[in-house]
Amino acid sequence: ARFNKPDAEIVDHYTYCILGDGCQMEGIAQEACSLAGHWGLGKLIALYDDNHISIDGDTAIAFTESVDLRFEALGWHVIWVKNGNTGYDEIRAAIKEAQSVKDKPTLIKVTTTIGFGSPNKSNSYSVHGSALGSKEVEATRQNLGWPYEPFHVPEEVKKHWSRHTPEGASLEAEWTSKFAEYEKKYPTEAAEFKSIITGELPAGWEKALPTYTPETPGDATRNLSQQCLNALAKVLPGLLGGSADLASSNMTLLKMFGDFQKDTPEERNVRFGVREHGMGAICNGIALHSPGLIPYCATFFVFTDYMRGAMRISALSESGVIYVMTHDSIGLGEDGPTHQPIEHLASFRAMPNILMLRPADGNETAGSYKVAVENRKTPSILALSRQKLPNLPGTSIEGVAKGGYTISDNSSGNKPDVILIGTGSELEIAAKAGDELRKEGKSVRVVSFVSWELFEQQSDEYKESVLPADVTARVSIEAGSTFGWHKIVGSKGKAIGIDKFGASAPAGIIYKEYGITAEAVIEAAKSVC
């Protein structure tokens, strides 16, 4: 929709997937397939291996609905191939029919026998998750009339498949020639397309990120996030995304674009509806499709519980999705404990290959986006505030890339008496506590610890320069679980946080009730100095 022209079609591929009975039972399939039908994804073709067997036995014990009717209700075109074991021509014909349906995705239900050819184990759950065994393999070979040794590829099979090699080379050469002509006629579109398919970001893209000073009026980091997204959308042709029915609260709308819909597929605001799990999985697919596609998706931070499976797949599959997670703490206030994340920061810090970022103000929000865009093989989570936060002296875009860095220090090159460490909305509290302690004659270093993972990537020398080993007087403050913080503050330091569920109250009141205050930091600092 964005790049094809009446005289030049350069994007013409289909997307195929294979799924089974278990996939059909999972809720994520309903979420994703509902959206596919709504969007009319005519180039999506799913082949359903309809063998009626899952690990516990025949699917009749738990799964008896009409999949055909369900998919038709979801807006899919449905084809049934009744002989999936040997009906190769039927399958070929079904795929051709699916390709001809332009306005709907297609489900090809292919009825098969699991373990086809095995005389003793076919059509049973015993062949679902276990190898046949040497005796049954031999029996199956005899039953199928397969005379060849294990792993031998017969010459006629090799010849049949090898014909695709020159065909593929010819098709690629044809496309390359077509794109060369396209590039001459449509240089702007061609440059954007090349950026998307190669992953090479436009030169100087990061200069589009906004910067802030302490004089800039304070704002919620969710609002600052929207400023960053809209700035980046102008310079990153592959940036697109949306929210799980919370765009106006997550602040994720790209104001210069419309909604990605069936009739407007060239637009870049994706309306996922209340489908967090499907949203995360779809963004994984977008990120893995082309290295220059940069998908973001959003919901409240606590609702990562609904999409954690997809987020873990992001980490496992090196899919650089940007997760924009707002309402990041008890600071969201009146929505109460069901909506207030407590253990979530700690849980994602425990997950391999994912960046957990909690920016404190405008510069740190911009820095978090710079990190997220640059890390195409590592997903990023931006935990953003609902409440307004000041733009603090000493924060920087560059500092975020280090994970942890000093924003203020009055020790004049000497060892500070105490190090105060904060993240997100609590960095302001640490900074206020530092100012008060300095009035009492203490030398205080205040450190922003926006990302544990990025800090761990730094050299030992850098880490020592921020958190000297011989300064054991350390206090951390974060409106979340203290789990893991003693790794940072040490056995002699103190971690201020929340190790129980929150409550319903305005942010200021609940912070005071739960001891997330500058006074608590000052008291803790004096106790460890």
Task: Supply the DSSP string of 290-341, one letter for each residue.
Answer: -TT-EEEEEEEGGGHHHHHHHHHHHHHTT---EEEEES-SGGG-TT-GGG--
Distance CA 416, CA 450 (A): 21
The pTM of this model reads 0.96
Binding-site sequence positions for substrate: 128, 222, 249, 327, 335, 339, 386
- 242 and 362 part of one domain: yes
Binding-site sequence positions for thiamine diphosphate: 22, 51, 128, 303
Query: Which whole-number Å values give the CA distances from 404 to 379, 392, 401, 458, 514, in the listed order?
Result: 19, 15, 8, 9, 25
- 211 and 305 part of one domain: yes
Q: Tokens at residue 511, please?
A: 């912070």
Query: Which whole-number Å values give the CA distances from 25 to 62, 69, 107, 205, 361, in the listed order?
Result: 9, 15, 15, 43, 43
> Does residue 261 lie within any of the structural domains?
yes
10-residue mean pLDDT series, the chain (529 residues) = 95 96 95 98 98 95 97 98 97 98 98 96 91 95 94 95 95 97 97 96 97 97 98 98 97 98 97 98 97 98 98 98 97 91 98 98 98 98 97 98 98 94 98 98 98 98 97 98 97 97 94 97 97
- 474 and 365 part of one domain: no
Return the half-sphere exposure (C-beta side, CA atoms, 13 A cut-off) of residue 261: 6
Q: Tokens at residue 455, please?
A: 């800090």
CB proximity list for 291: less than 8 A, separation 6 or greater: 197, 198, 199, 376
Binding-site sequence positions for Mg(2+): 21, 51, 53
Helix orientation angle between 27-39 and 276-289, rounded to the nearest 10 degrees? 70
- 407 and 372 part of one domain: no
> Does residue 191 lie within any of the structural domains?
no
> Does residue 269 lie within any of the structural domains?
yes
Any idea what the CATH number is for the domain that residue 86 is in? 3.40.50.970
Distance CA 499, CA 505 (A): 17
> Does residue 314 lie within any of the structural domains?
yes
Helix orientation angle between 518-528 and 427-439, rounded to the nearest 10 degrees? 60
- The single residue listed with the structure tokens 């008496």 is 417
Burial zone of 406 (CB within 10 Å; 0-12 exposed, 13-18 middle, 19+ buried):
middle
> Does residue 139 lie within any of the structural domains?
yes
Could you tell me the sign of the dihedral formed by the alpha carbons of 488, 490, 496, 498, in that order? positive
> Does residue 163 lie within any of the structural domains?
no
- The single residue listed with the structure tokens 């797949």 is 313
Identify the domain boundary among 350, 383, 416: 383
Q: Which domain holds residue 46?
A: 15-156
pLDDT score at 129: 83
Identify the domain boundary among 124, 156, 188: 156
- 447 and 515 part of one domain: yes
pLDDT score at 413: 84
- 64 and 151 part of one domain: yes
Q: Tokens at residue 350, please?
A: 């425990």
Contact assessment for residue 123 and residue 115, using Cβ atoms and an 8 Å cutoff: yes
- 417 and 520 part of one domain: yes
Any idea what the CATH number is for the domain that residue 460 is in? 3.40.50.920
pLDDT score at 166: 96
> Does residue 219 lie within any of the structural domains?
yes
Contact assessment for residue 38 and residue 9, using Cβ atoms and an 8 Å cutoff: no
Q: Is 95 helix (H, G, I), strand (E, B) or coil?
A: helix
Identify the domain boundary among 356, 383, 410: 383
Number of domains in the chain: 3
> Does residue 178 lie within any of the structural domains?
no
- 253 and 361 part of one domain: yes
Q: Tokens at residue 229, please?
A: 């997204």
- 367 and 230 part of one domain: yes
Q: Side chain identity at 435, as an amino acid letter?
A: D
Contact assessment for residue 497 and residue 480, using Cβ atoms and an 8 Å cutoff: yes
- 377 and 419 part of one domain: no
Distance CA 320, CA 355 (A): 10
Q: Which residues are catalytic?
A: 276
Binding-site sequence positions: 21-22, 51, 53, 128, 222, 249, 303, 327, 335, 339, 386
CB proximity list for 133: less than 8 A, separation 6 or greater: none
Beta-strand pair 418-422/474-477: parallel
pLDDT in tens, 372-431: 999 999 999 999 999 999 999 999 999 999 999 999 999 998 999 999 999 999 999 999
- 222 and 318 part of one domain: yes
- 215 and 327 part of one domain: yes
What is the DSSP track for 373-430? HH-TTS-EEEE--SSEE---TT--HHHHHHSEEEEEE-STTS--SEEEEE-GGGHHHH
